């Protein structure tokens, strides 16, 4: 029997209502939510919040709800990076935070891998790619360091209840086409502010067929689409990944949407985004004359186990003609990739491996792109100067396409190599 008095709500509304202690919420209203989990990394985390907490003479509201992960300045490479990591290590001890993952990989990948996310949660992260958590039907979004301080002191945060934009993908992706292609396509189609800082929900048969790490890529790049969070309803795939019984969290069938876009996944070709915006995306064929000097497989959105496997499926029995760099996203994924032989395929193809962490993606670490270097990368952003010199040129693509390009020496459709 249906309850006629309760309004139909989207997944986003249901998650926000629970965190606000309400039976229902309406898009546009301002609510205060209780935070179930706050994640920080070394760059925007301890080094920024510690002095502010000291100024306030305040303590962390609930250390068991805080997770700290080092990823931006690891491996350390100079005095500054060593100092930043030392502050993180000292602070978690002082603040009594047990959930600390040091040099274990990128925060967005490590957080769910270590079982910190569950459907129904309301979470914040000190990083713009925090919508990644939405793949687990948790409301998760990125905030800055001062706002994180507010959460650490009060355990709460304000929110304007979002509208939901539904992206429905029927059918099935072709072999060689991935979640990254879906996102580059959507960002090209709707722009960097297409998400209007609302919730973007990914649905349809093609989405349900995706493994968790591919779903994470979708929700992660909701940041580039300009949404506050990206969400996917929980299902048996979510449950299998988390390896524990979960609740089902999903939108009511007739919940009002701000927009509903439908696509056939089978029509989608591999996408490439030209410098200097993820919104400059077009089908891979348009870029055949581009000859990158560097092929980079890295980042939370491009070097998880699922991504390394995509690259390996193309690179098996082949050699990279361009310089191929791989910065795996997590220690557990590296171990799994090693055990199943994926890592060996990448090594045999000539890949150089960088340390665990954000690598070149945000230009924070010891490795960056030099003047005028043309690169093709599995990362999420190619804004001017992000990965190094302002004159460097970064093309974004899926791990399949980056691997195929490394082999061909020019931008190449991976479907040609997967036949």
- Residue carrying structure tokens 């036949």: 419
Q: Under DSSP, is residue 325 helix (H, G, I), strand (E, B) or coil?
A: strand
> What are the DSSP E strand ranges found in 63-173?
66-70, 100-102, 122-125, 139-142, 156-160, 164-170
| Residue placing its CB nearer to another protein in the complex, 394 or 406 | 394
Selected from 171, 204, 256, 363, the binder of another protein by CB under 8 A is 363
**Cα–Cα distance, 84 to 376 (Å, whole number):** 30
132 contacts another protein (rule: CB under 8 A): no
Answer yes or no whether residue 29 interacts with another protein by CB under 8 A. no
26 binds another protein (CB under 8 A): no
14-22, 142-150, 202-210, 298-306 -> range binding another protein (CB under 8 A): 142-150
The dihedral over CA atoms of 52, 55, 56, 62, expressed in degrees to the nearest 10, equals 50
> Which residue's CB is nearer to another protein, number 127 or number 181?
127
CA-CA distances (angstroms) from residue 47 to 56, 73, 146, 220, 333?
15, 12, 12, 24, 28
Residue from 1, 2, 28, 55 touching another protein (CB under 8 A): that is 55
Instruction: For the CB of residue 182, give the shortest distance to another protein in the complex, in Å.
Output: 20
Task: Please say which residue, 153 or 336, places its beta carbon nearer to another protein.
Answer: 153
Instruction: Examine residue 45 and tell whether it contacts another protein (CB under 8 A).
Output: no
Burial 151-166 (b: 16+ CB within 10 A, else e): bbbebebebebbbbbb
Nearer to another protein, 228 or 378 (CB): 228
Residue 52 touches another protein, criterion: CB under 8 A: yes
Per CB under 8 A, 80 contacts another protein: yes
Q: Which stretch binds another protein (CB under 8 A): 141-149, 320-328, 342-350, 404-412?
A: 141-149
Q: Is residue 43 involved in binding another protein (CB under 8 A)? A: yes
Other CB atoms within 10 Å distance of the CB of residue 39: 27
State which of residues 62, 193, 267, 352 lies at the interface with another protein (CB under 8 A).
193
Kindly compute the dihedral angle of the four CA atoms of residues 349, 273, 140, 231, in this order, to the nearest 10 degrees: -100
SS3 at position 23: coil
Q: Contacts with another protein: how many residues (CB under 8 A)?
A: 50
Instruction: Provide the H-helix boundaries in 140-255.
Output: 145-154, 179-190, 205-208, 212-220, 236-242
Count of C-beta atoms within a 10 Å radius of residue 175? 12
Check binding of 149 to another protein (CB under 8 A). yes
Question: Which CB sits closer to another protein, 37 or 149?
Answer: 149
One residue of 17, 27, 39, 48 binding another protein per CB under 8 A = 48
- Beta carbon of residue 386, minimum distance to another protein (angstroms, whole number): 4
Task: Compute the distance between CA of residue 316 and CA of residue 334 in angstroms, rounded to an integer.
Answer: 17
- Regarding 153 and contact with another protein (CB under 8 A), the answer is yes
Q: Which is nearer to another protein, 147 or 168 (CB)?
A: 147
- List 8, 56, 205, 266, residue binding another protein (CB under 8 A): 56
What is the arrangement of strands in the sheet containing 37-41, beginning at the earlier edge strand?
100-102, 66-70, 37-41, 122-125, 139-142
> Which residues of this protein are in contact with another protein, per CB under 8 A?
30, 43-44, 48, 52, 55-58, 72-73, 80-81, 84, 126-128, 130, 141-147, 149-150, 153-154, 158, 191-193, 197, 223, 226, 228, 277, 279, 362-364, 368, 381, 383-386, 388, 390
């Amino acid at each position: 029997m249906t309850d006629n008095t309760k309004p139909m709500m989207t997944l986003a509304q249901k998650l926000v209502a629970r965190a606000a202690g309400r039976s229902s919420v309406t898009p546009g209203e301002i609510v205060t939510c209780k935070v179930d989990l706050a994640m920080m990394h070394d760059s925007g985390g301890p080094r920024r919040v510690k002095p502010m907490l000291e100024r306030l003479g305040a303590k962390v509201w609930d250390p068991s709800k805080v997770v700290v992960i080092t990823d931006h300045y690891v491996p350390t490479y100079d005095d500054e990076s060593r100092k930043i990591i030392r502050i993180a290590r000292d602070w978690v001890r002082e603040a009594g935070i047990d959930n600390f993952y040091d040099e274990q990989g990128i925060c967005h990948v490590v957080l769910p891998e270590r079982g910190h996310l569950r459907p129904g949660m309301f979470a914040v992260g000190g990083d713009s790619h925090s919508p990644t958590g939405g793949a687990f039907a948790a409301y998760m979004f990125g905030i800055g360091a001062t706002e994180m301080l507010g959460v650490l002191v009060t355990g709460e945060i304000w929110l304007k209840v979002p509208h939901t934009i539904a992206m429905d993908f029927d059918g099935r992706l072709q072999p060689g086409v991935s979640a990254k292609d879906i996102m580059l396509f959507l960002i090209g189609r709707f722009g960097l502010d297409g998400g209007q800082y609302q919730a973007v929900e990914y649905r349809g048969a093609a989405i349900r067929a995706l493994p968790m790490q591919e779903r994470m890529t979708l929700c992660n790049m909701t940041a580039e689409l300009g949404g506050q969070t990206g969400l996917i309803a929980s299902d048996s795939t979510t449950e299998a990944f988390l390896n524990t019984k979960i609740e089902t969290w999903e939108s009511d069938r007739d919940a009002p949407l701000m927009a509903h876009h439908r696509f056939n996944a089978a029509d989608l070709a591999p996408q490439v985004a030209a410098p200097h915006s993820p919104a400059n995306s077009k089908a891979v064929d348009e870029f055949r004359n581009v000859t990158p000097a560097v092929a980079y497989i890295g980042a939370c959105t491009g070097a998880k186990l699922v991504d390394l496997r995509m690259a390996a499926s193309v690179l098996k029995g082949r050699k990279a003609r361009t310089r191929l760099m791989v910065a795996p996203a997590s220690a557990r994924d590296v171990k799994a990739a090693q055990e199943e032989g994926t890592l060996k395929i990448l090594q045999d193809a000539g890949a150089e491996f960088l340390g665990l962490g954000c690598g070149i993606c945000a230009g924070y670490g010891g490795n960056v792109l030099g003047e005028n270097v043309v690169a093709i990368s599995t990362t999420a952003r190619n804004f001017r100067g992000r990965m190094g010199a302002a004159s460097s040129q970064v093309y974004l693509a899926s791990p399949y396409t980056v691997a195929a390009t490394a082999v061909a020496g020019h931008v190449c459709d991976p479907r040609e190599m997967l036949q």
